[in-house]
Structure 1
């Protein structure tokens, strides 16, 4: 879907992006992570020609974007940013419909798309379509920003620190919402963040950048198990890699058959091992009952299975 071949971008002779090559497959969430000034947001803006490459090539579906009209290219891509960029004097519905209007969609199709996206993002159309951005909470405004990015039904969604300004509870909620939506729409998402926990939670594959270069491109699990260098290891948090890895694994992967009376304290089968460990520490117990979505006891999670990787 997206290929970068030895791409660089210079500003006044200084390389913000320095000879990077990358392939992003269709339908994956590729998260670019790194410290401030590492070139991650510059890389994102190169993809939709908000800025041009100083050298190298970028291809979308095999076609070099240098040969494409910038406006047409951007209408094929959704773009969501940290501060939403909503037009304050337009209603939510009109903000979302910007790209479909530019694409000359019929009015009926635009109205149906706005309704569909508001419902998809948990914003009932009857309650939110006619509101203005000033009447929304931060989380609601960010949802509208994502809806606007998806409005033209683009194959590619670019997201530049979209949840960075939100409080932790709202941020976690929107991360979960993004994963839920992606499970239904299967877009190719390029997501920029400086938060490694956010990257680990969302990514199919993670690109770690440092000083304008890619230092590692791998799955979250492989990144944790095999950091390429000391910088990646420090970014992951040397003392917390075990907990971060536990956050990627589900209780259902480690639970054992339930025998006898279920333990007093329970964990959901789809919760992470990190959540299970937290419950064990909080309640000072060495095992938990595992329950399914209907609350039925379906297994046992002893701390030994968590520590030693035993499976049912």
Structure 2
């Protein structure tokens, strides 16, 4: 052979994509694609999932973002167990000095581990003789970024009208006529929340219907109570419902008293006995639940 010398370059073998693991991440509606060895993406750019995958299920793939590790990429997906997606030809490379790209490869989407589900119930535990039972499980956690499926139950179950009313509720909010409850009987309401991966959590709350004319009360904050910065100030508004259809239910005057379950927190003295409590900046400790 004339014209030498010659340089021969031996490229590393392409990554074995059929050895990859693709499953839903336990903390969100996220698909995690993990390879047994480090890999790289063409031009080291991930503009969107369509640049990497050919979805073999109707609906395609949504955009995503990558993890720091070159051995895995996080991708938002719509898939469920046993669906398949195909990695496009020439997009996934090995991580060697002279990498080569893998051919188009089908990968099965596994279900993955379900996140723990925590059911949080809110609502009045004492209901007026003229009031409704209003409970909410909206603050439940572990939904993996999708809506829960809810099932509500109650004990005792000696009132078929009450159990029938609950059987029709499949959402996070329960609102039924308080007249379905017998006065001075403790009813345990239980909510089961199931996420799309099959994980289930349960929560209960006791509710009593009193013969007294107790007003309905709810607290409405002016900020998201789960994401409050120490440097923020905000108001808590008390929304009171007086049941005018009860004789004498409307009082001539209303007294408000705000309290907090932390002795280190000092409430604003000018609003502590008013309908709206002002919470000043830096008055609450960080990383705390009150």
Higher helix share: 1
Bigger radius of gyration: 2
User: What TM-score, normalized to structure 1?
Assistant: 0.21
TM normalised by structure 2 equals: 0.22
Higher share in strand = 2
Q: Compare relative contact order (CA 8 Å, sep 6+) and give the higher one, 1 or 2.
A: 1
